[in-house]
Amino acid sequence: MDRKTVHEPPEYLATKLKQIGIDGFRALCDAVCTEEAHPCQLRPYCEELAFCFDLLTGPSLFHSLDSYASAFSGFEIREPGKGFEFKRLKKLESRVATVIKEIDELKKTPIVRELAEQGLIPSDDVLGMPDFSCRSHFQALLDLRNRASIVLGDPRKPKRVDFDSILLGIYMHIHSRSGGWHDRSVADILNDLFPDRREPFTESSLKQWRYTRDITDQTDPK
């Protein structure tokens, strides 16, 4: 899988960015997708960043994200009499993990490899690319509980979705993967997403934003 292609912002975000924002997104992906990561594992980290940045621009969606119950409306995941739990989603994740294992075994069979080599199985199909796990096809589902917690908070103490909480989630994701904060790249993306803002985002203003929320460490320059 081409590393550069993986680092391109998805179309739904790219259409909202100018070149400086796209470059900022690429820089963040270079930081969070470490060299030792397997290429098939790069996609989820970049997609999570794109998802969260795009969510910042969608205030009309916030009313449906005021609680886990409304956010997952249409997919019942509440256990009767036990409060809010993810038991059904956890069961689905377990089944999918089993399916992934079985598909990866099937991909290596002679007939599937022959069909793939003849072009009768598309390379982006779950049975395509027999030397690579099909896990990437299901990664968003497997990461869904974690992504939901970034947006909504702990299910036991859900938080109201707002700009600060989403940006905090973005920063924590960046820092957990790279060990740094990358304020300049974040500012470049935010300025493209909010071009009409009276005061543009800057590296120093975002650093101050983090300081006021005690989101800093020794990696910040003095």
Per-residue pLDDT tens digits for 24-70: 999 998 888 765 444 433 456 788 888 889 888 875 445 556 677 77
Residue 125: half-sphere exposure toward Cβ, Cα within 13 Å: 14
Average pLDDT, the chain: 80
pLDDT cut 70: percent of the chain above it: 76
Q: Which residue has the higher pLDDT, 40 or 79?
A: 79
For residue 43, give both structure tokens.
Answer: 């996609």
The vertex-97 CA angle with 93 and 100, nearest 5°, equals 135
**Lowest model confidence (mean pLDDT) among 6-15, 18-27, 144-153, 165-174:** 144-153
Does pLDDT of 9 surpass 60? yes
**Lowest model confidence (mean pLDDT) among 55-64, 158-167, 191-200:** 55-64
Rounded to whole angstroms, how far apart are CA atoms 136 and 43?
Answer: 7
Rounded to whole angstroms, how far apart are CA atoms 201 and 23?
Answer: 16
For residue 109, give both structure tokens.
Answer: 């069979």
**Lowest model confidence (mean pLDDT) among 7-11, 25-29, 80-84, 206-210:** 80-84
Does pLDDT of 1 surpass 50? no
- Closest by CA to 41, choosing from 179, 178, 135, 148, is 135
Give the pLDDT of residue 84. Answer: 56
Position 100 confidence tier, pLDDT thresholds 50, 70, 90: very high
The vertex-94 CA angle with 93 and 99, nearest 5°, equals 95
Question: CA separation (Å) from 117 to 39, 127, 135, 151?
Answer: 21, 11, 21, 42
Do residues 189 and 26 lie in contact, with contact meaning Cβ atoms separated by under 8 Å?
A: no
Report which listed range, 106-110, 124-128, 174-178, is most confident: 106-110
Position 16 confidence tier, pLDDT thresholds 50, 70, 90: very high
Rounded to whole angstroms, how far apart are CA atoms 130 and 167?
Answer: 38
Q: Which amino acid is at 35?
A: E
pLDDT tens digits, 123-145: 888 898 878 888 888 888 888 88
Position 159 confidence tier, pLDDT thresholds 50, 70, 90: low
